[in-house]
Amino acid sequence: MQVLTRRWMAVLAAVMLAAGLASVRAEVSLASPETVGFSAEGLAALRQEMRGLVDDGRLAGVTTLVARHGQVVHFDAYGVRDLDSRVPVERDTIFRIASMTKPIVGVAMMMLWEEGKWALDDPVSKHIPELAGLKVATGGGEVPQASPMTMRQLMSHTAGFDASGGYTEHDLRAGNLQDMIDKLAGLPLAFQPGTEWRYGPSVDIQGYVVEKLSGQPLDVFLRTRIYEPLGMSDTGFWVDRSKAGRASKLFTYDDDGALITAPTQVRGDLTEKPAFLSGGGGLNSTAEDYFRFCQMLLDGGEADGQRLLKASTVELMYANVLEPGVTIGRGTGTGFGMDFAIVLDPEAAETPEGRNTYYWSGAYGTWFWIDPTNDLIVVGMIQNTGGGTPPMRSLSRQLVYDALVNPEK
């Protein structure tokens, strides 16, 4: 009887803890900006600028979050997530985060790297035999690889795979991850490994590697090893039906530049599990969930007493791995690590961000950066496609650093 009672007490305690966490998730408490070096007036200017884009009809809705020293000092949601119903954007609105999926899969890869499942200089073919001996397309015909493409190159878009547009006729995301590998196995590389940076299917391939080396489906690995430890309850390749009403529609612009609902809603029914689990762009998430992920990285791989990665592994992720002379096409001062772009030289990159800031964005307007020099995180969410979308990262970047008036705090 005593054992039974203890078990029920444990169950009750777990239920109460879950309820408490749900309460915490429902309302993030904001720290005083001045305690961590920000000006309240400066953050108000950020809020006004972001909201002004909605009021001017350039965005339907926008969510922005700013945190320093682990304290959230700005978390604003404004506008609507549906132009017809006018349902408002809220802090827990769910967005398609597209390529902001990549850093999450990068963390999954580095977890397996820490376990010794793969090494940076391993040939990709060691883990994906189907890709052994791929030829390289040149103007004079196909030639052998000068040296085998490596896992380090796969993690940095320099393994030789073409940009995504180069595979349009092959539709790599039709079918499942194995179907993608089978298609790539019959195609030449677009360049000699290590000599160029092209933004293509590398992280979808990483998702395949995660499945193969872990023995788990990609969605299960990400959920059990990343989302659950971090409390990312609203992140996944599909949206639970009970949460469907919280998802934003996708927006675009008509020929006159007016904001409209996009005629084609990418993954229109977000509640259906997709056949293709895209490590390169398939996740949905919220600003708070993504902040939790970023904070874990900024804290050196640890969150709430749980270590997901070693601090040295996180540092490796935002160390430049591009060969000399290889750039990502964003001017000087910028490099690329393990699924992140990196600010190597803020002056050369013409940015107020601190050295070693690492960042990325999503095709539908979501963006983030992690600034270890200033112990700062910014996450932003919109849901736009097509030309006319405001440059959200650059707009918010200047306002955030203008508001950081006492960085020594």
Placement of tokens 């659950």 in the chain: 228
Instruction: Determine the topology of domain 29-100+231-403 in CATH.
Output: Beta-lactamase (3.40.710)
**Burial (CB count <10 Å: 0-12, 13-18, 19+), residue 185:** middle
pTM, 2 dp: 0.93
Among residues 289, 282, 302, 290, the alpha carbon closest in space to that of 370 is found at 290
User: What 3-state class would DSSP assign to 219?
Assistant: helix
Identity of the residue numbered 404: L
Sign of the C-alpha dihedral computed for residues 259, 265, 269 and 273 taken in this order: negative
107-214 has the same fold as 29-100+231-403: no
Query: pLDDT digit string (tens) for 133-191?
Result: 999 999 999 999 999 999 999 999 999 999 999 999 999 999 999 999 999 999 999 99
Q: Where are the domains of the chain?
A: 29-100+231-403, 107-214
Placement of tokens 């090893």 in the chain: 225
Sign of the C-alpha dihedral computed for residues 217, 159, 235 and 342 taken in this order: positive
> CA-CA distances (angstroms) from residue 295 to 22, 70, 250, 346?
19, 7, 27, 22
Domain 107-214 classified CATH 1.20.58?
A: yes
Give, for all 409 residues of the chain, the pLDDT tens digit. Answer: 343 333 343 333 433 334 444 433 446 899 999 999 999 999 999 999 999 999 999 999 999 999 999 999 999 999 999 999 999 999 999 999 999 999 999 999 999 999 999 999 999 999 999 999 999 999 999 999 999 999 999 999 999 999 999 999 999 999 999 999 999 999 999 999 999 999 999 999 999 999 999 999 999 999 999 999 999 999 999 999 999 999 999 999 999 999 999 999 998 799 999 999 999 999 999 999 999 999 999 999 999 999 999 999 999 999 999 999 999 987 789 999 999 999 999 999 999 999 999 999 999 999 999 999 999 999 999 999 988 999 999 999 999 999 999 999 9
